[in-house]
Amino acid sequence: MSPRTRQDAPPTPEQIAFVEEAMARYGRQTYNYAYRLVGNAPDAHDLTQEAYIRVFRAWQSFRPGTSFLSWIYRIVTNLHRDELRRRKGVFTQPLPDDNVRHERHAESPAHDPIRAYHDQQLSPSMELSLRQLTSDQRSVVILADVDEYSYQEIADIMGCSIGTVRSRLHRARAQLRKLLLRQRAEQTGGAQ
């Protein structure tokens, strides 16, 4: 976390209230987006924290009436891209996190051994494949497929055209399919 400097003027009550409300309403979604990008809890924690510090510093640049979530996703996307560049493409290894996991589906894996098995098998290979995409490809796949944003919304978040979103998504999906097929072939070959 970057320290506060003299350039950081003393916060106003409105500024603090803005950040508090943002964290209360969008903190969870922001953290989940960060987690999907980096694949582990410590880095997702740092990324989310830094994103809200950026919100604190630049809160007046948020335009009322626009989507806060798009804005914070854009901040996270840019931070992730910068950090990935700084680390030369490598985030820390995925770690088992101790957060409470809330399944999107009604059935709990504990009561559905087939689903639990499926999750355990699928997630690592999918995460591994996603790690091999570029930062922008990863973002676009998560935003389009997991968060189900429209191309226009993704373009706003990523600061690019709809055409770029479309081509990145197509390339990323083609790459993912190739990687998953290769992994499956390796697993099958290894099992035999």
Partner 1 sequence: MTCENYRALIADYVHHQLDAADDAAVYEHVGNCAACRAELDAQIQLTESLREAFGQDREFPSSIAAQVRQFMHAVPSPSAWDRLRSALRPAIVAPAAAVILVAAILGYDASHRPAPALSSEYFVREHIAQTIGSPSSDAAWSAYLLTSANASSGSDAAASPNG
Can you give the binding site for partner 1, defined by CB under 8 A? 1, 3-6, 8, 11, 15-16, 19-20, 23, 27-28, 30-32, 35-36, 41, 45, 48-49, 52-53, 56, 97, 99-104, 118-119, 122-123, 126-127, 130, 141-142, 144-146, 150-151, 166, 169-170, 173, 176-177, 180
Cα separation, 115 vs 118, in Å, equals 5
Task: Rank residues 78 and 119 by Cβ distance to partner 1 and give the closer one.
Answer: 119
Q: Which of 43, 40, 53 is nearest to 5 (CA)?
A: 53
In the complex, the smallest distance separating the C-beta of residue 74 from partner 1, rounded to whole angstroms, is: 18
Long-range contacts of 28-31 (CB under 8 A, 24+ apart): 29/69, 30/69, 30/72, 30/73, 30/76
Task: Rank residues 88 and 111 by Cβ distance to partner 1 and give the closer one.
Answer: 111
Cα separation, 26 vs 31, in Å, equals 9
Cα separation, 81 vs 28, in Å, equals 21
Rounded to a whole number of angstroms, the CA Rg of the chain reads: 19
Q: Give SS3 for 130.
A: helix
Q: Which two tokens stand for residue 5?
A: 């400097």
The residue to which tokens 């106003």 are assigned: 12
